[in-house]
């Protein structure tokens, strides 16, 4: 039977490409011959179960034209579920044809490649082997697409299905930033110390097939990074998650072990991608969120001497001195190996001391990703040049690190032990003449420097002034002049008060009040004459105080008129006149009138005059 030609110009824009190289392991067969179409064929899996869909992908790269692909010829036991094709490019064209297949019977199969015609050339890819095992019920209706994406076959749209066991609750989002596809970055922790691993995973949430045209990883500017995408935990099957009301396919694009290099609120940056797809129109940009990690120093409390920022993890140190006996002036190789997991140190503390020179180490390492962490060993091949002779103690190498799991510092140490350095030639005699340095620059500029101090001496710590940073300084500086000024002001005020008081005591009003008091005393004594004299005096003083009129020098008959001329009410002027007349009368006829009534009359007049004076004031 002649296979019908497949109409490749259908241009079914169904993305079947990989994203970021994050595909599952494929069986690859590649053909690359100059002048001929370049072919790549692969199966999504070399071992499937009966009923489990898989794909056969054919990629053809041609120059200056599109190839023609005939239908794939399948062996009995393998059935075709569907097919798709995509073409693109300019002068260099690429054609991707994907057949969705399924084994219906267990067994080993050889799937021949479909013949390809390009101009006058005819090329046939090699056959691919497939093993189909009996079904266990695993993924019966999931079709794995190239790039790790999958679609369901034999079922409808399940966007609004109830949550299923395959959905990852931890990947669910309350709302979806986009209803078709979006990128998301998730850090496994928001706080860390310098050097502590933060794992950041970048996911693609999608509900439509897409093709990544261009992608840029997040910059992680303030981090040292390593991809741990190849870790077994990362390479898992298809994921699903709810975002808002919709169910999305979720694909792990990248997983980064990031080690902060400094303190502060550090940005991971955003991963960016240009996409194309059937439901997305032209090129579409997508960008992940920017994760913020708060990075601090490990605690200063109990920090061991020699700890270096960034040494975080769990380590042990081993050391091997590869020679125990050397000649004078010789060197001894020392291999120091750090094993463990975490942010491996770039160097270890070797016992630096006078007479021992450590040359730059040669580093080797074998670091793997295990359970999401960097695990393995790093070795430092030192050469120690020994300047002393005899039995020389090399000391110990040590590594201080912060163990984030135990949240404490730990120190791993390895003793290097002693080596024997044998002298060549006679020992220098103590009586020998010292050899003068050939080069004047060889003179030690620090000769005679005082010896180190063996104990902590006392000293007076410089403290901030006792007035601190507040306003006490200003108060101190301003206080003396202000106190003096206050004293001056007080003194002046006191003097003025006294003067006012003295002046007040001599006023007409005061004298009038005093006269009234004397009148009251006279009334109490029954001394009518004295009473009359006091009341008369009180009235005259009150008149003078209120009007300025010296009424004693005015004829009694003229007094009302004079008072009225000074704006005193006629009634009050008459009352004043009457009171004075009464006083005069009682002086000559003490029994003629009631002393009490006279007193009341005079007091009333004085009171009214007081009101008059107050109103004038």
Partner 1 sequence: MSTAPGLRSILLTAIVAAATIASPARADDAPTTPEAIFQSGAEALKKGEHGKAIDAFEALADRGFYNPDASYDRGIAYVLRVRAGADRAGDLGRAAAAFEEALLLRPDDHEADVALDRVRAELTRRRARKSRSSMDARPTLDRLVVGLASEQTWGLAAFVASLLFALGLVLRQRPAGRAHVAGSVLAPTAFVALLALIPLTLGARHLRRTARPGVIVVDEVYLTDEDGKSRGGDPIPEAAAVEATERHADLVQVRWGAISGWIPLGSVRLIGPDSTR
Q: How far is it, in rounded angstroms, from Cα 380 to Cα 360?
A: 9
CB atoms within 10 A of CB 171: 18
The CA distance from 88 to 94, in Å, is 6
The single-letter DSSP state of residue 593 is S
3-state SS, one letter per residue, for 322-352: CCCEEECCCEEEEEEEEEEEEECCCCCECCC
Q: Is 313 left (phi over 0), alpha (psi -120 to 50) or beta?
A: left
Q: Least distance to partner 1 from the beta carbon of 501, Å?
A: 23
Token pair of 147 as six digits:
């790039």
Position 194 contacts partner 1 (CB under 8 A) = no
Close Cβ partners of 385 (under 8 Å, ≥ 6 residues apart): 329, 330, 331, 356, 357, 358, 359
Q: Which two tokens mark 249? A: 């396919």
- Interface region with partner 1, contact rule CB under 8 A, candidates 20-28, 192-200, 354-362, 583-591: 354-362
- Sign (positive or negative) of CA dihedral 465, 467, 470, 474: negative
Window 460-489: contact mask with partner 1 (x via CB under 8 A): -xx-xxxx-x---x--xxxxxx-xxx-xx-
Under DSSP, the state recorded for 90 is S
Residues in contact with partner 1, shown as a per-residue x/- string from 290 to 329 under the rule CB under 8 A: ----------x-xxxxxx-------xxxxxxx--x-----
Rank residues 54 and 307 by Cβ distance to partner 1 and give the closer one: 307
Neighbours of 505 (CB within 10 A): 10
Question: Mask of contacts with partner 1, 359-398, x by CB under 8 A?
Answer: ------------------------------------x--x
For residue 316, what is the enclosing H or E element? strand 312-321
Q: How many residues does the chain have?
A: 617
Complex with partner 1: residue 296 or 320, whichever CB lies closer: 320
Least separation in angstroms between residue 49's CB and partner 1 is 47
Is residue 457 a contact point for partner 1 (CB under 8 A)? yes
CB of 530 closer than 8 Å to CB of 542: no
Binding of residue 354 to partner 1 (CB under 8 A): yes
Part in contact with partner 1 (CB under 8 A); list of ranges 125-133, 195-203, 407-415, 504-512? 407-415
> Using the 8-state DSSP alphabet, how is residue 156 labeled?
-
Please report whether residue 444 would count as binding partner 1 according to CB under 8 A: yes
**Residue 3 or 473: which CB sits closer to partner 1?**
473
From 204-212, 230-238, 405-413, 542-550, give the range in contact with partner 1 by CB under 8 A. Answer: 405-413
What is the C-alpha to C-alpha distance for residues 127 and 41, in angstroms, rounded to an integer? 9
Instruction: Supply the minimum distance, in Å, between the C-beta of residue 257 and partner 1.
Output: 23
Is 433 among the residues that bind partner 1 (CB under 8 A)? no
Strands 418-422 and 390-393: antiparallel
Asked if 588 is part of the footprint of partner 1 (rule: CB under 8 A), the reply reads no
Binding-site size, partner 1 (CB under 8 A):
70
**Closer residue to partner 1 (CB): 36 or 418:** 418
Contacts of 337 (CB under 8 A, 6+ apart): 317, 318, 319, 320, 377, 378, 379, 380
Q: Given candidates 412, 528, 547, 551, which one binds partner 1 under the rule CB under 8 A?
A: 412
The label of the residue with tokens 């390593």 reads 226
Q: Closer to partner 1 by CB, 438 or 456: give it.
A: 456
How many other C-beta atoms lie within 10 A of the C-beta of residue 205?
26
Q: Which is nearer to partner 1, 301 or 571 (CB)?
A: 301
Q: Cβ of residue 345: shortest distance to partner 1, in angstroms?
A: 14
Using the CB atoms, write b or e for 307-317: b if 16+ within 10 Å.
Answer: beebbbbbbeb
Instruction: Please give the Cα distance from 533 to 247 (Å, whole number).
Output: 117
Among 5, 152, 353, 552, binds partner 1 (CB under 8 A): 353
Give the CA distances from residue 307 to residues 302, 398, 443, in Å, rounded to whole numbers and listed in that order: 11, 10, 35
Kindly identify the residues of this chain, within the stretch 251-290, that bind partner 1 according to CB under 8 A: 262
Of 148 and 313, which CB lies nearer to partner 1 in the complex structure?
A: 313
Terminal-to-terminal C-alpha distance of the chain: 135
In the bound complex, what is the minimum distance in angstroms from residue 497's beta carbon to partner 1? 19
* Stretch near partner 1 under the rule CB under 8 A, chosen from 198-206, 247-255, 438-446, 526-534: 438-446
Longest dimension (CA), the chain: 169
* Of 18-26, 46-54, 209-217, 457-465: span binding partner 1 (CB under 8 A): 457-465
* CB of 50 vs partner 1, minimal distance in Å: 53
- Other Cβ atoms less than 10 A from the Cβ of 612: the count is 21
In the complex with partner 1, which residue's Cβ is closer, 341 or 547? 341
Closest separation in Å from C-beta 336 to partner 1: 10
Helix (H, G, I), strand (E, B), or coil: what is residue 405? coil
Among 1, 455, 502, 555, interactor with partner 1 by CB under 8 A: 455
* 459/588 with CB nearer partner 1: 459
CB of 265 to partner 1, least distance (A): 12
Give every CB contact of residue 367 below 8 A, 6+ residues apart in sequence.
Answer: 344, 374, 375, 376, 377, 378
Strand order from edge to edge, sheet including 47-49? 47-49, 128-133, 107-111
Contact between 358 and partner 1 (CB under 8 A)? yes
Binding segment for partner 1 (CB under 8 A), chosen from 101-109, 179-187, 453-461, 587-595, is 453-461
Smallest distance, partner 1 to C-beta of residue 327, A: 19
Least Cβ distance, residue 369 to partner 1 (angstroms): 23
Pick one of 11, 108, 408, 561: the residue that binds partner 1 (CB under 8 A): 408
Radius of gyration of the chain (CA): 55
As measured in angstroms, the least distance from the Cβ of 612 to partner 1 is: 45
In a 3-state reduction of DSSP, which class is residue 96?
Answer: strand
Q: Which is nearer to partner 1, 356 or 535 (CB)?
A: 356
- Smallest gap from Cβ 379 to partner 1, in A, equals 13
3-class secondary-structure state, position 37 = coil
- Report the SS3 class of residue 254: strand
Contact footprint for partner 1 (CB under 8 A): 262, 300, 302-307, 315-321, 324, 349-355, 357-358, 395, 398, 400, 408-417, 441, 444-446, 449-450, 452-457, 459, 461-462, 464-467, 469, 473, 476-481, 483-485, 487-488
């Amino acid at each position: 039977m002649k296979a019908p030609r497949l109409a490749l110009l259908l241009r079914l824009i169904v993305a079947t490409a990989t994203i970021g190289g994050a595909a599952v392991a494929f069986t690859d067969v590649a053909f690359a011959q100059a002048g001929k179409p370049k072919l790549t064929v692969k199966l999504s899996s070399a071992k499937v179960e009966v009923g489990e869909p898989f794909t056969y992908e054919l990629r053809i790269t041609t120059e200056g034209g599109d190839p023609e692909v005939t239908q794939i010829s399948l062996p009995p036991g393998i059935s075709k579920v569907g097919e798709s094709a995509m073409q693109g490019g300019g002068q260099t064209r690429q054609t991707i044809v994907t057949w969705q297949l399924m084994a219906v019977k267990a067994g080993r199969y050889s799937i021949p490649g479909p013949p390809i015609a390009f101009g006058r050339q005819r090329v046939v890819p090699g056959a691919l082997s497939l093993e189909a095992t009996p079904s266990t019920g695993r993924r019966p209706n999931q079709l794995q697409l190239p790039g790790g994406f999958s679609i369901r076959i034999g079922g409808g749209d399940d966007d609004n299905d109830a949550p299923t066991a395959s959905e990852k609750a931890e990947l669910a989002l309350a709302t979806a930033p986009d209803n078709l596809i979006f990128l998301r970055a998730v850090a496994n922790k928001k706080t860390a110390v310098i050097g502590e691993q933060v794992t950041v995973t970048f996911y693609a949430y999608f509900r439509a097939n897409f093709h990544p045209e261009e992608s840029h990883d997040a910059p992680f500017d303030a981090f040292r990074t390593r991809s741990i995408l190849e870790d077994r935990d990362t390479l898992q099957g298809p994921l699903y998650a709810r975002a808002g009301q919709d169910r999305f396919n979720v694909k792990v694009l990248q997983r980064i072990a990031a080690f902060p290099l400094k303190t502060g609120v550090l940005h991971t940056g955003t991963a960016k991608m240009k996409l194309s797809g059937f439901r997305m129109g032209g090129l579409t940009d997508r960008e992940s969120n920017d994760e913020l990690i708060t990075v601090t120093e490990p605690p200063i409390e109990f920090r061991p001497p020699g700890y270096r920022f960034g040494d975080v993890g769990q380590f042990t140190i081993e050391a091997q001195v590869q020679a125990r006996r050397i000649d004078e002036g010789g060197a001894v190789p020392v291999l120091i190996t750090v094993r463990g997991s975490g942010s491996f140190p770039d160097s270890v503390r070797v016992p630096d001391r006078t007479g021992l020179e450590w040359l730059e180490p040669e580093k080797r390492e074998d670091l793997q990703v295990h359970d999401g962490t960097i695990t393995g060993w790093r070795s430092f091949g030192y050469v120690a040049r020994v300047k002393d002779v005899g039995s020389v103690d090399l000391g110990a190498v040590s590594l201080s690190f912060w163990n984030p799991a135990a949240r404490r510092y730990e120190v791993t140490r390895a003793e290097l032990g002693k080596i024997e350095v044998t002298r060549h030639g006679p020992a220098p005699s103590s009586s020998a003449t010292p050899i003068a340095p050939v080069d004047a620059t060889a003179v030690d500029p620090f000769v005679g420097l005082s010896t180190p101090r063996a104990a902590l001496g006392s000293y007076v710590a410089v403290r901030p002034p006792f007035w601190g940073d507040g306003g006490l300084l200003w108060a101190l500086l301003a206080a003396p002049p202000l106190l003096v000024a206050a004293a001056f002001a007080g003194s002046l005020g006191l003097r003025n008060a006294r003067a006012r008081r003295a002046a007040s005591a001599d006023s007409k009003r005061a004298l009038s009040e005093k006269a009234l008091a004397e009148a009251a005393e006279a009334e109490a004594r029954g001394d009518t004459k004295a009473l009359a004299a006091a009341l008369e005096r009180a009235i005259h003083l009150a008149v003078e105080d209120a009007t300025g009129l010296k009424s004693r020098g005015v004829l009694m008959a003229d007094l009302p008129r004079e008072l009225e001329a000074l704006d005193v009410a006629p009634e009050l002027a008459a009352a004043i006149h009457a009171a004075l007349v009464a006083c005069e009368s009682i002086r000559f006829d003490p029994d003629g009138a009631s002393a009490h009534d006279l007193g009341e009359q005079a007091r009333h007049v004085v009171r009214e005059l007081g009101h008059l004076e107050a109103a004038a004031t």
